[in-house]
Chain A
Amino acid sequence: MESNGATEVQRHLKVYVGVFIALLVFTLLTVAASQLALGTAGHVTIALIIAAIKAGLVAGFFMHLVSEKGTIYGILVFAMIFFIGLMFLTLYSMADTVVIKNVA
């Protein structure tokens, strides 16, 4: 076991605990925000922002993405392009009003 890896891991232990506490705080925040009178759009926005922050913390620190190699970033960018495309197609299909016009 190389000493370089062990030293670096030792330094990261406090980061892991800090991220864990942050995740708990954001969990409580998201539950508290859901009880406020914000309207649907407000609730969806707040919930997705907090979820994205939590996901970023897990992916960045627990999954070590903050210090990964370019190949991994390339794989994820590729996946994100398709995921965003999928969501775009979904939202675009909701804006399609052809059927509604025919019913009218």
Chain B
Amino acid sequence: MEIPYTVQPRLDTGLFNAKIGIWLFLASEVMLFGALFSAYVLLRVGSTDWLHQVLSIPLGTINTVVLITSSITMVMAWASLKLDRFHSFKLYLGATILLGLVFLIIKGFEYSDKFAHHHYPSTHIYYALYFTLTGLHALHVLGGMLVNSYFWGPGSRLWNHAPERFTNRIEMAGLFWHFVDLVWIFLFPVLYLL
């Protein structure tokens, strides 16, 4: 038995099911990060000794460029499948995964530098927020990388007998990845620049 509307759009919504599903999930993620951002606003405004620009702006900027680049490689991976270029898809998705790894490695260096200077979540409310927000974001980057790695590897076998279904799966993975980039677009100025 075949699951309906994995490729064919529903007549009432004009969408295939996974697209509605992923956007509902992203809406819940907006509330997850929104709750943490609202905690940041409340705690920062109520603080008398906030820390300003204690993070490495060059490293943060590099990480921002890394994620933005990974976003375009992700959309190019999907576009390659739409254009029936499977080899290009592999290259672009592989680049997306590697850029995610670069992001996490840089984040790891930043964290270990903070720990080396005895700055932990318990040190100051700023660090509590910093490690919570970026830690949760990094877990999302890792999750996205795992999904993308599956689609790059064994999951890509679906292309051979159901190419449109596989293309839709990559589009959904891309939506999640762009959301992760979107969260960082707000995290970077809030934590690094303000």
Q: Please list the residues of chain A having a beta carbon within 8 angstroms of any beta carbon in chain B.
A: 1, 5-6, 9-10, 12-13, 16-17, 19-20, 23-24, 27-28, 30-31, 34, 40, 43-44, 47-48, 50-51, 54-55, 58-59, 62-63, 69, 71-72, 75-76, 78-80, 82-83, 86-87, 89-91, 93-94
Contacts of B34 in A (CB 8 A): 83, 86-87
Decide yes or no: A59 and B178 within 8 Å by CB, A6-B82, A90-B41 being known contacts: yes
Given the complex of chains A and B, what is the CA–CA distance between A63 and B79 in angstroms?
12
CB distance from B11 to the nearest CB of A (A): 12
Which residue, B20, B72, B174, has most C-beta atoms of chain A within 10 A?
B72
Within 8 A of A (CB), among B27-74: 27, 30-31, 34-35, 38, 41-42, 45-46, 53, 57, 61, 64-65, 68-69, 71-72, 74
Give the chain B neighbours of A13 by CB distance below 8 A.
Answer: 76, 79
Question: Which DSSP category, helix, strand, loop or mixed, fits chain B's interface?
Answer: helix
State how many angstroms separate the Cβ of B166 from the closest Cβ of chain A.
Answer: 11
- Does B84 make an interface contact (CB < 8 A)? yes
- Residues in B neighbouring A82, C-beta threshold 8 A: 31
Would you call A20 and B79 a contact (CB within 8 A)?
no
**What are 11 A-B residue pairs whose CB atoms fall within 8 Å in the complex?**
A20-B69, A31-B57, A34-B57, A48-B189, A51-B185, A59-B182, A62-B181, A71-B15, A71-B20, A72-B19, A87-B38
B110 contacts A by Cβ under 8 Å? no
> What 3 A-B pairs are tightest by C-beta distance, nearest first?
A79-B27, A34-B193, A47-B189
A57 to chain B, nearest CB (A): 9
